[in-house]
């Protein structure tokens, strides 16, 4: 009887326990533990990512190129490259604009591009240290006026992800006649220039080699924190030198929304630097890099602003806006004093004025564009006085030099060569 009575009372006790006001604390504790567990898992994953992307050791910049670790065996091939070579009408930037049915049809254009896949036996010797068994090698060759101009190599892993991007340009005077009406680069020529970009397993650039005609090289290493670029170190090696020496270090700073706020460059030895380098927005790294080998971009510089040398210990601060545009540059000496500053004025995606202030001197360069965005005029003004003006019409330019605010010399240029000039008599 007692047992049956307890059984009859049990449902009523459960209803009292599970009342809404009694259920709230239970639900709160349940949600609390679930959220805490999720945060712990997330934090553990983020910490692991930071460790995986941590700074490489000093061997990262050792002499020569680095051999990559061997891939694990047993990974099935997922990516299969296309078959025969594909030919395209192209432009100076090497873009595949329009596919053509034949090689002959593509080469009728000023620029032609062929995309093919090759074996490791056909690899450029300078790229051998970066090759791994199982990589697919895509080659893109750009022809200008029927002659090979540039060659780009892409290493793709088994999943089709790019691991290496390299490109070399052919210097015409290093070519030899192959008897077929075209020029072929000399096999042992040192005249090839270009770059090699190496990517990590997360698809981010890890190393960037620039190769120069004289055999010299620069190497930039990129450092990340939770997937965000925080530092880049650039080193240089002269021809036949065994080791790289540190030139400068770039530190990237962001606001709370991870928009780039500025880039600070510290020079470790004296170098010649241009006072300004401007590019279209959306190319954050190009604020501090001049090289962009296979792609087209706009860089505006002016000889009027002068080249200048940075001493060891000097630092440059590049300021940018939320669109990635370079708003200006300031050079500080080792005493943290301002040497000079450059301010850029933008209208949309075009810079219309560059002002350099150094001591009491103010140099201003102004630009004008047509409705298509082509630059049609440039004016150089020193301390409020016009000194030079250039009018641009396609490949022709008219340059006017001023003395005390009055035009004194007018020169005519075509394709970068001076055709004629005339001195203006004063009245």
**Tokens of residue 82, six digits:** 């296309």
Q: What is the pLDDT of residue 294?
A: 31
Cα distance between residue 360 and residue 338, in whole Å: 13
- What does the block give as tokens for 213? 């005609």
How confident is residue 79, by pLDDT bands cut at 50, 70 and 90?
Answer: low
Compute the average pLDDT of residues 285-306. Answer: 46
Strands in 170-267 per DSSP E = 175-177, 183-185, 193-199, 205-211, 217-225, 228-237, 245-254, 260-267
Is residue 368 packed enough to be buried (19+ CB in 10 Å), middle (13-18) or exposed (0-12)? middle
Give the gyration radius of the chain's Cα atoms: 30
Name which residue leads in pLDDT, 300 or 373: 373
Min mean pLDDT across 79-83, 185-189, 321-325, 404-408 is at: 185-189
**Cα–Cα distance measured from residue 126 to residue 138, given in angstroms and rounded to the nearest whole number:** 16
Q: Which of 77-81, 237-241, 264-268 has the highest mean pLDDT?
A: 264-268
User: Is 0.75 surpassed by the pTM of this model?
Assistant: no
What is the spatial distance between Cα 361 and Cα 344, in angstroms, rounded to a whole number? Answer: 17
3-state SS class at 128: helix
Residue 87 has pLDDT above 50, yes or no: yes
Name the CA dihedral angle for 32, 33, 36, 40, rounded to a multiple of 10 degrees.
-170
Give the integer Cα–Cα distance in Å for 353 and 308: 20
- Residue 194's pLDDT band (cuts 50, 70, 90): confident
Residue 61 per-residue DSSP state: G
Give the pLDDT band of residue 111 (cuts 50, 70, 90).
Answer: very high
Query: Would you state the pLDDT for residue 418?
Result: 84
pLDDT greater than 70 at residue 124: yes
Give the strand pairing for 260-267 and 385-393.
Answer: unpaired
Please report which confidence band the pLDDT of residue 316 belongs to, taking 50, 70 and 90 as the band edges: confident
pLDDT band, very low/low/confident/very high, at 364 (cuts 50, 70, 90) = very high
The answer, yes or no, to whether residue 85 has pLDDT greater than 70, is yes
Token reading at 195: 């770059």
On the question of pLDDT at 155 being above 90, the answer is yes
Pairing of strands 217-225, 228-237: antiparallel
**Residues of the chain above pLDDT 90, percent:** 21
Output the average pLDDT for the chain.
Answer: 74
- For 372-393, the pLDDT digits (tens) are 888 899 999 999 999 999 999 8
**Residue 33 — very low, low, confident or very high, per pLDDT cuts 50/70/90?**
low
pLDDT higher than threshold 80 for residue 223: yes
Contact at 8 Å (CB) between 318 and 263? yes
Q: What is the pLDDT of residue 14?
A: 44
């Amino acid at each position: 009887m007692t047992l049956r009575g307890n059984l009859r009372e049990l449902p009523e006790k459960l209803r009292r326990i599970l009342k809404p006001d009694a259920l709230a604390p239970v639900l709160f504790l349940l949600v609390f533990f679930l959220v805490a567990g999720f945060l712990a898992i997330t934090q553990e994953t983020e910490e692991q990512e930071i460790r995986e992307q941590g700074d490489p050791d000093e061997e990262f910049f050792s002499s020569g190129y680095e051999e990559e670790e061997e891939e694990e065996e047993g990974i099935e091939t997922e990516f299969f490259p296309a078959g025969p070579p594909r030919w395209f009408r192209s432009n100076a930037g090497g873009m595949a604009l329009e596919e053509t049915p034949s090689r002959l049809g593509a080469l009728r254009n000023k620029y032609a591009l062929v995309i093919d896949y090759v074996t490791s036996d056909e690899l450029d010797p300078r790229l051998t240290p970066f090759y791994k068994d199982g990589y697919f090698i895509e080659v893109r060759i750009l022809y200008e006026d029927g002659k090979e101009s540039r060659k780009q190599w892409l290493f793709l892993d088994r999943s089709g992800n790019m691991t290496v991007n390299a490109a070399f340009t052919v210097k015409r005077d290093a070519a030899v006649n192959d008897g077929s009406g075209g020029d072929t680069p000399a096999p042992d020529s040192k005249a090839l220039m270009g770059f090699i970009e190496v990517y990590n397993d997360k698809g981010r650039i890890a190393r960037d080699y620039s190769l120069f005609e004289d055999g010299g090289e620069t190497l930039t290493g990129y450092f990340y924190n939770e997937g965000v670029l925080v530092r880049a170190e650039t080193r240089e090696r002269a021809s036949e030198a065994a080791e790289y020496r540190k030139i400068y270090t770039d530190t990237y700073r962001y606001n709370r929304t991870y928009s780039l706020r500025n880039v600070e460059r510290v020079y470790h030895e004296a170098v010649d630097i241009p006072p300004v380098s401007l590019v279209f927005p959306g190319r954050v790294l190009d604020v501090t890099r001049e090289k962009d080998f296979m792609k087209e971009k706009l860089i505006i510089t002016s000889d009027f602003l002068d080249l200048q040398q940075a001493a060891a210990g000097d630092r440059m601060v590049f300021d940018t806006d939320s669109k990635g545009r370079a708003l200006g540059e300031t050079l500080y000496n080792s005493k943290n004093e301002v040497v000079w500053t450059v301010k850029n004025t933008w209208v949309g995606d075009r810079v219309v004025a560059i002002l350099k202030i150094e001591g009491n001197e103010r140099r201003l360069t102004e630009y004008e564009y047509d409705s298509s965005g082509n630059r049609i005029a440039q004016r150089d003004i020193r301390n409020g006085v016009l000194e030079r003006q250039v009018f641009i019409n396609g490949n022709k330019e008219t340059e006017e030099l001023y003395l005390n605010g009055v035009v004194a010399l007018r020169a005519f240029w075509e394709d970068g060569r001076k055709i004629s000039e005339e001195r203006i008599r004063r009245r």
